[in-house]
Amino acid sequence: MNKNSSAKERVAELTALINDHNYRYYILSDPLISDFDFDQLMNELIGLEKDYPELLESDSPTQRVGGEITKNFETVKHVYPMLSLGNTYSEDELREFHERVVKSIPDEKVEYVCELKFDGVAIGIQYENGRFKRAVTRGDGIQGDDVSTNVKTIRSLPLRLKDGNYPEQFEIRGEIILPRATFERINEERIDIGETPFANPRNSASGTLKLQDSGEVAKRKLDCFLYALYGENLPFPSHEEGLKAASSWGFKISNDRKVCQSIEEVFAFINYWEKKRPELPFDIDGVVIKVNSIAQQNELGFTAKSPRWAISFKYKAESGSSQLLSVDYQVGRTGAITPVANLSPVPLAGTIVKRATLHNEDQIVKLDLHVDDTVFVEKGGEIIPKITGVDLSKRKANSKKWNSSTNVRSVILS
């Protein structure tokens, strides 16, 4: 065997090994080897690809670390239009949706799949012969941006599918998210270097996806949950079976979903996750309810904008009011200042909130904040509660405008 063909074999072997370890680590959360041993494999592959550039493939696991700079993302047309979903905040409207569905498919039992509604950025990812081909943002639903180089940095996303009966060509759609812990770390860093922090994990995921330097994207550690398959003549009779197959090919499909036999079960799922929501490591903004049977989905069809077989039930952003006690000025290493309000404790979305961000001095001016004001606090998609307004009906007569130079309680240096 010559040197070249043994290098080729070793590259293939390392690629398969690394892909498998990635899967165990990022999807099963059950790693078999240490980070050190993983890095050894990766370094060996990087070395071989350097010595034999002809062996470097675009879906090699080494390509996840990024480095490519994209000046302008290419606009591409979606193979399947990227529609959105009808949404509701009300139980009655959800019952109406159910009644419409049942009416359109008389004499048949209807099952629903309930899924979490991930609060991130929609993405469509095309695969060909089991390999990542390209990833496109929603854009206007007809065409979006090719953000492949950035999406390839997502470790939980397979660049090569595990052996299985996958279609030659298909698209899988999902939501790119940034876990809350990562979002907080990024914001701390931004404050430190004097940049404006992101308002919530969704904005930071969307900002990250549009970065020109994929090396930077790789450092941000985006994640991606997949929830829909598109292709010609897909062989799955139900949505649930499609998801199970996609999971067996190596995609990250949330297990926090349920096939429901009745609308009451759907409500139970919604209520369960409304309570559990604060315990998730990422943000959700509701639940998506989909008719399970593909034949029934086809029967129901689409309106101009969205499918008739699915709806999202959105959770209300939890808000409350509380009294402003004082404001701390947090100063980052580089001097960026973030005013943070101390509040009388208020229960919101499962936690007791005592502090909320005022973002920056401009925000204090915009809110026309006064000393001792009663303020509205909101904890929606974002983990850091924010002050969204002032309850003017509770403002004390002759209260004084908030003055950052005289009302400072403390300056916290981080």
Catalytic residues: 117
Sign of CA dihedral 70, 71, 73, 75: negative
- CA atoms within 13 Å, Cβ hemisphere of 110: 27
> Smallest distance, Å, CB 253 to ligand IVH?
10
Q: Which of 276, 225, 285 is nearest to 255 (CA)?
A: 225
Tokens representing 163? 């052996």
In this complex, which beta carbon is closest to ligand IVH, that of residue 85 or of residue 234? Answer: 85
Tokens representing 69? 């700079």
DSSP annotation of 392 reads G
Q: Which strand (E) or helix (H) includes residue 214? A: helix 214-220
Q: Write out the residues near ligand IVH by the rule CB under 6 A.
A: 83-85, 87, 115, 117-118, 122, 175, 227-228, 288, 307, 312
| Cα(311)–Cα(174) distance, integer angstroms | 16
**For ligand IVH, which residue has the nearest CB?**
122
> Smallest distance, Å, CB 312 to ligand IVH?
5
> Smallest distance, Å, CB 155 to ligand IVH?
20
In this complex, which beta carbon is closest to ligand IVH, that of residue 48 or of residue 268? Answer: 268
CB 348 within 8 A of CB 385: yes
> Smallest distance, Å, CB 284 to ligand IVH?
8
Question: Which ranges of 277-360 does DSSP label H, i.e. alpha helix?
Answer: 294-300
In this complex, which beta carbon is closest to ligand IVH, that of residue 127 or of residue 313? Answer: 313
Q: Which of 199, 204, 381 is nearest to 285 (CA)?
A: 381
In this complex, which beta carbon is closest to ligand IVH, that of residue 73 or of residue 118? Answer: 118
In this complex, which beta carbon is closest to ligand IVH, that of residue 52 or of residue 230? Answer: 230
> Smallest distance, Å, CB 407 to ligand IVH?
42
